[in-house]
Structure 1
Amino acid sequence: MPDLHLVPDMPSNPVPVAVLPEGLRPHLLDAVVAGGGEVVAPEEARMLVWTDPNDAAGVSDVLAANPDIEVVQLLWAGVEEFAALGLFDDGRTWLCGKGVYADPVAEHALALSLAGLRGLPGRVTARGWGPQWGTSLIGRRVTVLGGGGITESFLRLLGPFESDVTVVRRSGEPLDGAARVVTPDRTLEALDGADLVVLALALTEDSRGVIDEEALAAMPDHSWLVNVARGQHVVTDDLVTALREGTIAGAGLDVTDPEPLPDDHPLWTLDNAIITPHTANTEAMAVPLVSARVTANVRRLGEDRPLIGPVDPALGY
C-alpha cells in the first residue's frame, strides 16, 4: 500500500477503499489516493475496487464477509460473469468500466474494417504483384450492433468516411453519426445490404449468438463482419461455414468463442479471417484509462456526487 503520509493535501476524511485481490493492478492504489481515498482492509472499506475479471465468486465471498461495503467498482465493460451470479441485486451500487476503453476499441474496429475491405490480409502474405482488389469504406453502408460508448467513438471515427450508418440498440434512441437507429427486433433488416457489420454490444442472454446462420445469410456476400465485443455474440461454427462458402466476404475478430482460439481451430486456416488476440484494448492501454475512472469515482463518492458507469441490475451491464 502507498505511504499516505507522503501524499500532500490528503482530505481530512478520506474515502476508505479496498483494492482486491492484492497485487494484480498495483497502479490502482495510486489512483485511489489521487481521488482522495485511503487504501484499507475490506472490513474498513466503504468502496471495493475488484481487480480480477475471472473471479466473480471471489468478490461474492469478500462482500458476504464485509456487508458494510457500499460501492463495488469493476474495471471492465463486460461483466456477464458477475451478472450470472446475481451479484447486482444485492442492494449495493455496482460500477463497471463501460465507456473506459471506448476509444482504443473503436480504433481497432476501424483498423479491422479497413484491413478487411481493402484486402490487406492477402497482401501481407503475397510474394507477387497479383490482381487488384479492395473496397473503399467511403459512402458505404455500415451496420453497428450496440449503442454504447464504443459505438459512439466508432461513429466519430467514421465521420470522414461519410458512411450510411444504421445502429441497432435496445433503446432505439438516436445517436450522432447514425442515419437511423432501430431496435433489436429489426436486426435482420439492418444486416440486409450492409457492406460492413460491426459488433459492439454487451453480452446478454438476448444477444448471445445474435450472429448465426440466419444473420449471416441476411448479409450481402461482399460484406465484412467485425467483432470487438464478445466472442459469444457469434455462432463460431456458422461463421466458419459462411467464410468457407462465401456467404460473406470476411471477418475481423478481436474476440472469439472459444477464447483463446486453439491453434488448430479452422478459423486460423481461412484467408478471409483476420484474428487479433483480444488486443483492441491492451493492458498497457488500459492502465491510464482505468486509473482515471477509479480516481474519478473515488472523488465523486467522497463528494457525494453521481458515480460514473453504474450497472443496471435489470440489464446486467
Structure 2
Amino acid sequence: MLPDAEPSIVEAVRLGGGSIGALDDATRGIVWVAADGDGALEAVLARHPGIEWVQLPWAGVDAFAQVLAAEASHGSRRIWTSAKGAYAQPVAEHALALALAVLREFPMRARATTWQADERGRSLFGASVTVLGAGGIAVELLRLLEPFGVRTTVVRRDGASRVPGAHATVGFDRLGEALADAEVLFVAAALTEQTRGMIDADALSTLPEGAVVVNVARGAIIDAAALDASLRAGHLGGAGLDVTDPEPLPAGHPLWSAPNCLITPHVADTVEMTTPLFARRVTENTAAFVSGGPLRGVVDPVLGY
C-alpha cells in the first residue's frame, strides 16, 4: 500500500485474503491511496515490472493520465482498477440535490435578506433530462430520478449499448440531438481527451432556454467561460457545480456571481462517505485478485477510464 499504509485500507486488504508487505520483487499488487503529481507511481512500476495489479483510489483516473498513457503505449498487460461505481450513491444524491436547488432558485433564496414573494421556481416532475456519461453515477442517478417521472436520455461513447433505466441511449455523435430538449443536463462522464470541453458554447446554445446544467464529474468537461456567458445572457436557467475549471475556483471568478449558479467545493463524496466505500472495493478486489476472479472498476489505459 503506497504511499502510506492507511489503517482502514490495510484491514480491507486482509479481509479480502491479502497481506501487506514491503515493496519488493515478490509484490504482486499495489493499492495506491494518494495523488501521483510527482510521477511516484510510474517510478514504482518501472522499478518493479512484476506488479500485476494496481488499485487506484478515485472513481476518475484523469489524475493518473500520464502513467496510464505510458502503460497503453507499452502494451502492458497489468490490470488497473479504480473506485468507479463505488461512490455512485453519494455523488448521484448530490447531483439530484443541486438540480432541485437550482430549479427552485435556492441560490437567490439563500442570499435574500428580505421577503421576496415572486413566482420563480420550477419542478423536476415530468422534465426532460439528459445525462452525459453512463457509469455508476449515471446509473444510480437514473434510479433516484424514477419517482419524478422524468424522460431520460443518456449520452455515452458507445450509443449502441443501452443503459438500463434510460428511455434512450445515444452516442457522443448525437449529443446535439440529446441536448435540444433537455430541461436538465447532468454531466457525469469521465474526463478524457474526447470529453474535455465537450459542453462548449455550441452545446450550451443547443439547450433550450431556461435549461439547468449540473456537473458532478470534472470541471474541464464544461467550458467555464461559455457557461458563465450563457448564464449572464439569460439563456440558461441556472447551474449546479460541484466541480469547476480551474479547481479550486479562485475568489472573484465570474461564476461565483453568475445568476442562479450554485457551487459546492467538490464535496459530493466526502472522505467520511468514501473511506468505507473504498475499503469495501479494496476488499472485493483483493479477494478477486487472490482467487483469480473478475475485478470491479477495471480501467482501460487506452480509453483512459
TM-score by length of 2: 0.95
In the TM superposition, what is the alpha-carbon distance from 1:69 to its structure 2 partner? 1.1
After TM superposition, the structure 1 stretch with the greater mean CA deviation from structure 2, 268-277 or 226-235, is 268-277
CA contact (8 A) 2:255 2:261 kept: yes
| Paired amino acid for 1:123 | R
Q: Distance in 2 between matches of 1:295 and 1:133?
A: 48
Equivalent position of 1:128 in the other structure = 114
Separation of aligned partners in 2, 1:221 and 1:159: 24
Instruction: Give the corresponding residue for 1:11.
Output: none
The residue that corresponds to 1:33 in the other structure is: 14
Q: Distance in 1 between matches of 2:259 and 2:302?
A: 41
Question: Is the Cα contact below 8 Å between 2:243 and 2:266 reproduced in 1?
Answer: yes
Identity of aligned residues (%): 49
Query: Are 1:76 and 2:58 an aligned pair?
Result: yes
Q: Is the 8 A contact 1:82 1:88 kept in 2?
A: no
Shift of 1:145: 0.4
Q: Any idea what SS the aligned residue of 2:299 has?
A: coil
In structure 2, what is the equivalent of residue 64 of structure 1? 46
Amino acid at match of 1:82: F
Question: Contact 2:158–2:172 (CA<8 Å) still a contact in 1?
Answer: no
- Structure 2 residue corresponding to 1:115, chosen from 89, 98, 101: 101
SS where residue 132 of structure 1 aligns? coil
Q: State how 1:1-317 maps to structure 2 within 5 Å.
A: 19-23=1-5, 25-43=6-24, 44-55=26-37, 57-85=39-67, 86-89=69-72, 90-130=76-116, 131-172=118-159, 173-317=161-305
Inter-partner Cα distance in structure 2 for 1:286 and 1:265: 29
- Superposed displacement of residue 315, structure 1: 1.0
Mapped partners of 1:170, 1:161: distance in 2? 26
Instruction: Tell me the amino acid that sits aligned with residue 35 of structure 1.
Output: G
Q: What's the CA shift string for 1:250-288, capped at 9, x where partnerless?
A: 110000000000012111122411000000111110010
Change (3 A) 1:34 1:55: farther
**CA contact 2:231–2:259 (8 Å) conserved in 1:** no
Structure 1 gaps of 5+ residues are 1-18
The Cα offsets for residues 90-123 of structure 1, whole Å up to 9 and x where unpaired, read as 3211111110111110000000000011111111
| Superposed displacement of residue 56, structure 1 | 6.5
Q: Cα distance 1:112–1:125, how it changes in 2: closer, same or farther (>3 A)?
A: same
Q: Secondary structure at the match of 2:165?
A: coil
Contact kept in structure 2, 1:188 and 1:215, CA below 8 Å: yes
From the superposition, tell whether residues 145 and 100 of structure 1 become closer, same or farther in structure 2 (CA, over 3 Å).
same
> Do the aligned partners of 1:56 and 1:81 also contact (CA within 8 Å) in 2?
no
CA distance in 1, matches of 2:70, 2:82: 13
Residues 20-68 of structure 1 deviation map (CA, whole Å, 9 limit, x = unaligned) = 0015x33211111111111111213111011112436110001111122
Letter in 1 for 2:144: L
Quote the Cα distance in structure 2 between the aligned partners of 1:186 and 1:117: 26
Q: Is the 8 A contact 1:88 1:94 kept in 2?
A: no
TM-score by length of 1: 0.91
Return 5+ residue gaps in structure 2 as ranges: none
Q: Is the 8 A contact 1:53 1:76 kept in 2?
A: no
Give the Cα separation in 1 of the matches to 2:37 and 2:292. 29
- Aligned partners of 1:220 and 1:129: how far apart in 2? 30
Distance 1:161 1:56, change over 3 A: farther
Equivalents in 1 of 2:302, 2:142: separation in Å?
A: 27
State the match for 1:5 in structure 2.
Answer: none
Q: How many residue pairs get matched? A: 298
Report the equivalent of 1:4.
none
Query: Following TM superposition, by how much is the alpha carbon of 1:80 offset from its aligned partner in structure 2, in angstroms?
Result: 1.9
